[in-house]
Each structure stands twice: as C-alpha cells, then as structure tokens.
Structure 1
Amino acid sequence: MLMAQQHRIRFSDSVQSGAFIFPLSDRSEPFEESGLTEKIKKFVQVHRNCFLLLQAPCNGKREQEILTLIQNRFFASNLRILPVRNNAEIVKGMLTIAKATSKPHVDMIRHRMSLARAHIIESSPVWEMLRDRL
C-alpha cells in the first residue's frame, strides 16, 4: 500500500530481524507466549521515538486486555501506542506519524500548541479566578 502511494520504504541493519518500525502483528498464539513483549522491549531500547501500531480488527475483550498489558508494561517509556483496525489505518497512522515528527511540522505543531495553551489560559474562568487570588 505504501509503495502504491509512491512512498519510499527503507530497510535497516539496526532493526532486529523480524521487527518492523511500524509492525503489523498477526498472532494466533497466546500473548504471553508470543514473545511480543520482548520484541517491543528491545525496540524501545534501540529507538528514541517509538510508535507501535497494534492491529486488532475489532475491539473485543481480548484485544483490550492485550492493549492494557502493553500500555501498563511500557507506561514510563518512550513508546507511543496507537490501536488500528485495518491496513488502511496502519498506512494513515504511519503517514501521520511521519508528517508530525518531521522537522518543519514539529516546529509548527509546537507553535500551535503554544498558541492554544496561551488562548486557554487567557480565556479560562479558572485561570481568571486564580489570577484574582494572587
């Protein structure tokens, strides 16, 4: 799908064999036995900005349990987890992450967040009340 949209795909020796920067995981064995946690752990150790797109076609009880386990396990790490339902969402997520983390867009996003924060502080009744008390 990425090649069809004329996106370049790079391969790297620094990525562990069997691991992908944007993994698509189709596992039938139990989560605890899959070794996925160890692969994610190694991935987080090697890369500074980690995004994990977890594919689950539906958000059933088992999928929610696995997502919760992974989130709890890597809560304090630099891993950002995005649940996706299909290949189209994976590609969309990959493109959004790539765009949002590229240098010109990061600066623009930070600037917009700064403006939004300033606007919220200026127009918030809570902040007005706190200012009046100080």
Structure 2
Amino acid sequence: EMASPSETIAQWRTTIIISSSLQNHDTCRTLSAQQHRIRFSDSVEAGAFIFPLSGTAFLLVDPQDLPDSLEESGLTERIEKFVQVHRNCFLLLYSPFNGEKELQVLTVIQHRFIGSNLKILPVRNGAQIAKGMLTIAKATSKPHADKIRERMSLARAHIIETSPVWEMLRDIL
C-alpha cells in the first residue's frame, strides 16, 4: 500500500535556510513541526526559503506589503537579484484572495520575468506555502530525483514495449 503524498512529504526531512525576516511566519512553525532543520539567516534575501540539498529557492511576496506604486517598491530589483543568485527559483505569490492588486503584481512579474528561470507559484495560506515548497524540494533532491528519473524510464520502456504502434512496426520490419 502506497503512502499518500502528504504522508511521504511529512516523513522526509531536510535542512532549510530561511530569511530572518520570516522568523515569526506561520510557515516556519509548520516546517518546524515536521522536524525539518531550520537555520535562520540575515545574509539571504528577505522573504527567502532556501533548500540547499535540492538546490531550490523560494521567495515569498505578499502584494499587501507592497506600496501602490510597484515601480517604487523595488520588487523587480529584488526578484532580479534572487533569479541571478538561484538557478532553480520559485516566487511564492501570497494571495488569500485574488484582488486587483494581486493580479497587478502577478502581471508585472510575469511580463518582466518571462523567459527567465523564475517559476511563479500562487499560494493562499501558510499550509499551502509549506506543502508547495516541500513537494518541489523533495522531487528535486537526491536520491528522490534519481528514483523519479528511474521510474520514468521504466514507465517509458513499458509503454514502448506494450505499444500497438511498436508491434505494427516490428511486423513490418
């Protein structure tokens, strides 16, 4: 019997470097409760969660914390720096509801970072933030990434073997 995805994520533990600015964030409490090793750091970007073992980094942005004039917020500069430092990076766009401002922020970020390695993950609450980060970090960390690749290649081999197209081609050749 297979464990449910949330059970599997809960059993997996990793080290997370978190910006000191997030020390009182409920996401940190969620991650601590799941026994992840958390290190707070002043030297990482404010709002950042970094998973060194999987090489992924997440930047939490709450549109409500931004001034009405996005140009003055320094947001694109912050994200630019983040994208330059972290190859495999995600922007956690916190929006409990989709208001005008949330959509405006999303649009600005999408237009500015199209074609970059930044991936945007809209999140509604602390639990979603933790679950989204852990799912991605686990899938990209060794040895899990290797296991996933191995399963994919076995599945591919099986599909090819049982494909009627391949049978037809074998008969022709």
Q: TM-score range by the shorter chain?
A: 0.7 to 0.9
In the alignment, does 2:67 pair up with 1:29? Answer: yes
How many residue pairs align between the two structures?
127
Query: Structure 1's 76 and 113: CA in aligned 2 closer, same or farther, altered over 3 A?
Result: farther
Task: Please give the root-mean-square deviation of Cα atoms over the aligned residues, in Å.
Answer: 2.8
Query: Structure 1's 86 and 114: CA in aligned 2 closer, same or farther, altered over 3 A?
Result: same
Q: Given residue 71 of structure 1, which amino acid in structure 2 is its aligned partner?
A: Q
- The aligned residue for residue 102 of structure 2 is 63
Q: Given residue 72 of structure 2, which amino acid in structure 1 is its aligned partner?
A: E
Unmatched segments (≥5 aa) in structure 1:
none
- Once the two structures are TM-superposed, the CA of residue 60 in structure 1 deviates from its matched residue by 2.6
CA distance in 2, matches of 1:116, 1:68: 38
Identity %: 69
Q: Given residue 23 of structure 1, which amino acid in structure 2 is its aligned partner?
A: L
Match of 1:82 among 121, 126, 129: 121
Q: Given residue 105 of structure 1, which amino acid in structure 2 is its aligned partner?
A: H
User: Quick check: 1:19–1:39 contact (8 Å CA) kept in 2?
Assistant: no
More displaced stretch, 111-120 vs 92-101: 111-120
Give secondary structure in 2 for the equivalent of 1:62.
helix
1:48-86 CA-to-partner distances (Å, cap 9, x unmatched) read: 111111101112333123212212211211111111011
CA distance in 1, matches of 2:160, 2:113: 32
Unmatched segments (≥5 aa) in structure 2:
1-28, 50-57
Q: 1 or 2, which has the higher strand percentage?
A: 2
Give secondary structure in 1 for the equivalent of 2:121.
strand
CA distance in 1, matches of 2:156, 2:118: 25
CA distance in 2, matches of 1:69, 1:40: 12
